[in-house]
Structure 1
């Protein structure tokens, strides 16, 4: 595996640093899936868990949409994989393919990048319907960094279980 991850800056402003770390983690997820077939991406490496690399990509497409489009941008769009709000639907990879999962994920990351770039500041807020709270773009970016970092740890273990590949 070869990494195509951007290096976050060692000294930069808050927004540039958050943006770079989020892109670093997005690239890490793509890297962990690199070179695998649809079947390998659907493989559960630690049964009885149903977690798979493809499920993580689908989940993170949903997370990107939920936080950036639905919360910060206030768009009335359904979840990526569920019109009825089933947050677990992303993990159902029975008929899922790399092409469909990565297309959805890339579409949502592009929307997220656009929404973040167009926001006046990290203090821009949106309404989180599930919690009933108003949240800042700063919180959303930090939450996404946390979400990717957590799931990239899962991706490390999943990839090792699929084909023995390890790496930072």
Structure 2
């Protein structure tokens, strides 16, 4: 499977740019996982660290759910991988995780995120981030998500290179 990645526009409105850059980074994470087995995807970066490509996909499912569904949409939904609120570490336990379960959960959360963003009247829509004790705008959430993906895609670059030597984009 080869992941298609959208080309961000060189000009355009703020929302279109944010949306496309976020989708670009989502696709980049998927590309880093293309062609790898479950075992490869579970391979830890540098033990005792549990960071792996599969852990990153699972983590980003949590991040998508938290920022779009729990913060912006004020949904009372549990974490994806843990029954404990704000337990982002559970996503990193990939000992019995599979590509199909991780990608299914992540893609479902991405679709929910897209629906929430598209339904919002403007980027000025706000939600409450309880961990910060502050209200935040959809604009901030989208920028934060771009940052989060970009940071973790840097990790994914190193993880993928350690698995099979593939580098780039």
TM-score, shorter chain, exceeding 0.5 = yes
Structure 1's consecutive aligned runs of 4 or more residues displaced over 6 angstroms after TM superposition are none
2:84 equivalent to 1:84: yes
Aligned partners of 1:46 and 1:161 also within 8 Å: no
Indicate conservation of the 8 Å contact 2:56/2:92, yes or no. yes
The answer as to whether partners of 1:54 and 1:101 remain within 8 angstroms in 2 is yes
| RMSD (Å), alpha carbons | 1.1
Residue of structure 2 equivalent to 1:13: 13
Query: Residue deviations 1:106-143, cap 9 Å, x none?
Result: 00000000000000000000011111100000000000
1:47 Cα deviation from its structure 2 partner: 2.4
CA distance in 1, matches of 2:80, 2:43: 22
Shift of 1:49: 1.9
Q: TM-score, normalised by structure 2?
A: 0.97
SS at match of 2:88: coil
Partners of 2:19 and 2:136 lie apart in 1 by: 17
Distance (whole Å) between structure 1 residues aligned to residue 99 and residue 67 of structure 2: 23
User: 5+ unaligned residues in a row in structure 1: which ranges?
Assistant: none
Question: 1:153 matched to which residue of 2?
Answer: 154
Deviations 1:55-93 (A, max 9, x none): 000000000000000000000001111111222100110
TM-score by length of 1: 0.97
Match of 1:34 in 2: 34
1:111 alignment counterpart: 112
Q: Which residue of 1 aligns with 2:137?
A: 136
Counterpart of 1:50 in structure 2 is 50
Return the alpha-carbon distance in structure 2 between the equivalents of residues 2 and 119 of structure 1. 31
